[in-house]
Amino acid sequence: MKRTMTCIECPRGCALEVTLENEWKVSAVAGHQCPRGEKYARQEVESPMRTLTTCVLTRGLELRMLPVRTSGPIPKGRLPDAMAAVKRIVVGTPVETGQAVAKDFLGLGVDLLAARPLGPAAGSPAN
Amino acid sequence: MRTRDLVVVGGGPAGMAAALAARDAGVRDILLLERDQHLGGILNQCIHPGFGLHRFKAELTGPEYADRFAKMTAAAPEIEVSLRSFVVGLTPERRVSYLKPGALEEVRARAVIMATGCRERTREMIPIPGTRPAGVYPAGLAQKMVNMEGWIPGREAVVIGSGDIGLIMARRMALEGVKVRAVIEIQDKTRGLVRNVVQCLEDFGIPLYMRHKVAAIRGRDRVEAVDVVRVDDKFAAVPGSGFTISCDTVLVSVGLIPENELLEAAGAAIDPRTNGPVSAELNGTSIPGVFACGNSFKVYDLVDWVSRDSELAGRAAAAYLAGGAR
């Protein structure tokens, strides 16, 4: 059984031809131009993963929204839960890039990280 | 009036890379003007990953990519960063005037690098018949609303144009709970990266209609629906192929235009077709000592290449200054 897919690891977007042993098991991958392509194809068939990037609300900081990302990919099927959980977070203290705003997010073994620094809002009391 | 060796207009990825490269090439007096309250430019609203694979060998979000350059810029004593500084004038003698809160400043520059980026093409610039209701947004503006202000522009959306901004906004809206009904593309292939079709549309089950166009936007006060029609080789509507998609929001992602009105006002030759400066070489303009880089020179699809090419502009300005420019 063969399946074609586009690698999403980098902007090159290699067209992959994946030979399947069964519905959940890859026996061979062709068409990739780097090792990440083969790894992606196996992961995508066995358990597709995505890095979530979104924003969380802030209070008393210089921008209204703080962009955040998961420190690693999470199961694609958990993206809706993750978005719902993100809506319950409010960041009220200044952050640095890479600082965790939620540790072991949803028990998925990844942290939710600030993707930029944010200081206190101008004119707000020092945080 | 104070004279500076190099004035860089725009603190996005192009301006920061150009200023840093000029510094590395020996320029010691650089003024970087940025209209926003932060460095980073459009990267600040591009919160999705995919930046920096070439430059940093890491998959970064836009704000993370911007932050790496902003930290290098802040650590360079040769570069004075002036934020909330909106350039309103450029002359062929390289006088730069800019507005700061409470002041109009003027500075003379021995060399200038314009790194002013792009603006979006709007609905008014492509022929879409119909009414003029609320709910029609350029995709990049919607991106700023969602990612920087936390405003969701509607509940059910149709995206016109399958460039990267349109695809990325389709995913972003879907993640935020908006029902994205369709992406409409008049060409027979997407103008965006293939990976974005996969991870932005297929992941969320968003249909992509290629060789289709929006025949009309309907709605009185607010968008109510769009009429969609298939097109032939000449982009003319195929009779009998029309259908209607109900929605309250339309995002228009139909390309970018280099922002070069300051150069034009200074008398530089501008190509009326692309709105980029006319130049025989990369990053040049028709005014001696004035350079342009990044998306205001030509539209790029990857910021990594903006950084790389803008560094060449910084070095070109340094070489011009070393050649005895006054």
DSSP string, B223-273: --EEEEEEB-TTSPBPTT--EEEE-SEEEE---EEE--HHHHHTT--B-TT
A115:B47 CB<8 A: yes
Show Cβ contacts of residue B167 under 8 Å, excluding neighbours closer than 6 positions: B159, B183, B190, B192, B196, B197, B200, B201, B253
What is the CATH topology of the domain spanning B122-252? FAD/NAD(P)-binding domain (3.50.50)
**Using an 8 Å Cβ cutoff, are B82 and B34 in contact?**
yes
d(CA B28, CA B25): 9
Other C-beta atoms closer than 10 Å to the C-beta of A38 total 18
Q: B98 vs chain A: nearest CA distance in angstroms? A: 23
ipTM: 0.93
Break chain B into its structural domains and give their ranges.
2-119+256-322, 122-252
**Using an 8 Å Cβ cutoff, are B317 and B115 in contact?**
no
CA-nearest residue to B60 within chain A is A115
pLDDT of residue A127: 41
Closest listed residue to residue B115, CA positions, set B323, B326, B324, B312? B312
d(CA A14, CA B65): 24
B175:A79 CB<8 A: yes
d(CA B317, CA B21): 9
Angle between helix B62-74 and helix B303-322 axes, rounded to 10 deg: 20
**Using an 8 Å Cβ cutoff, are B60 and B303 in contact?**
no
Residue B118, classed as helix, strand or coil, is: strand
Enumerate the residues of chain B whose CB falls inside 8 A of the CB of residue A13: 193-195, 198
Show Cβ contacts of residue B281 under 8 Å, excluding neighbours closer than 6 positions: none
B61:A67 CB<8 A: yes
Show Cβ contacts of residue B77 under 8 Å, excluding neighbours closer than 6 positions: none
Closest listed residue to residue B172, CA positions, set B194, B192, B191, B199? B199
pLDDT of residue B231: 97
For A54, the closest of B148, B175, B198 (CB atoms) is B175
Q: Would you say domain B2-119+256-322 falls under CATH 3.50.50.60? A: yes
d(CA B58, CA A84): 28
Question: Is beta strand A53-58 parallel, antiparallel or unpaired with respect to A90-91?
Answer: parallel
AA letter at B324 = G
Enumerate the residues of chain B whose CB falls inside 8 A of the CB of residue A51: 49, 59
d(CA B320, CA B326): 10
Mean pLDDT (chain B, rounded): 96
Domain with CATH 3.10.530.10 in chain A: 53-114
Geometric angle at alpha carbon A71, from B48 and A105, rounded to 5°: 105
Q: Hey, which residues 11-30 in chain A have their CB within 8 Å of chain B?
A: 11, 13, 15
In CATH, the architecture of A53-114 is Roll (3.10)
Per residue in B235-288, pLDDT tens?
Answer: 999 999 999 999 999 999 999 999 999 999 999 999 999 999 999 999 999 999
Question: Is beta strand B136-138 parallel, antiparallel or unpaired with respect to B49-51?
Answer: unpaired
For B195, the closest of A13, A69, A116 (CB atoms) is A13
Enumerate the residues of chain A whose CB falls inside 8 A of the CB of residue B48: 53
Enumerate the residues of chain B whose CB falls inside 8 A of the CB of residue A50: 199, 203
Enumerate the residues of chain A whose CB falls inside 8 A of the CB of residue B58: none
d(CA B326, CA B110): 6
A100 vs B: CB within 8 A: no
B193:A13 CB<8 A: yes
d(CA B294, CA B278): 15
**B57 phi and psi angles, rounded to 5 deg:** 55, 35
B72 vs A: CB within 8 A: no
Q: Rounded to whole angstroms, what are the CA distances from A39 to A9, A42, B33, B130, B170?
A: 10, 5, 44, 48, 27
A120 vs B: CB within 8 A: no
B37:A62 CB<8 A: yes
User: Are both B2-119+256-322 and B122-252 of the same fold?
Assistant: yes
B47:A7 CB<8 A: no
Is it the case that residue B164 has pLDDT exceeding 80? yes
Is it the case that residue B326 has pLDDT exceeding 60? no
With b for 16 or more beta-carbon neighbours within 10 A and e for fewer, the B286-301 pattern comes to bbebbbbbbbbbbbbe
CA-nearest residue to A114 within chain B is B64
pLDDT of residue B120: 95
Per residue in B80-120, pLDDT tens?
Answer: 999 999 999 999 999 999 999 999 999 999 999 999 999 99
Going residue by residue through chain A, which has 127 residues, state the pLDDT in tens, using 9 for 90 and above.
888 898 988 888 899 999 988 878 888 999 999 999 999 898 888 889 999 999 999 999 999 999 999 999 999 999 999 999 999 999 999 999 999 999 999 999 999 999 999 999 987 654 4
A62 vs B: CB within 8 A: yes
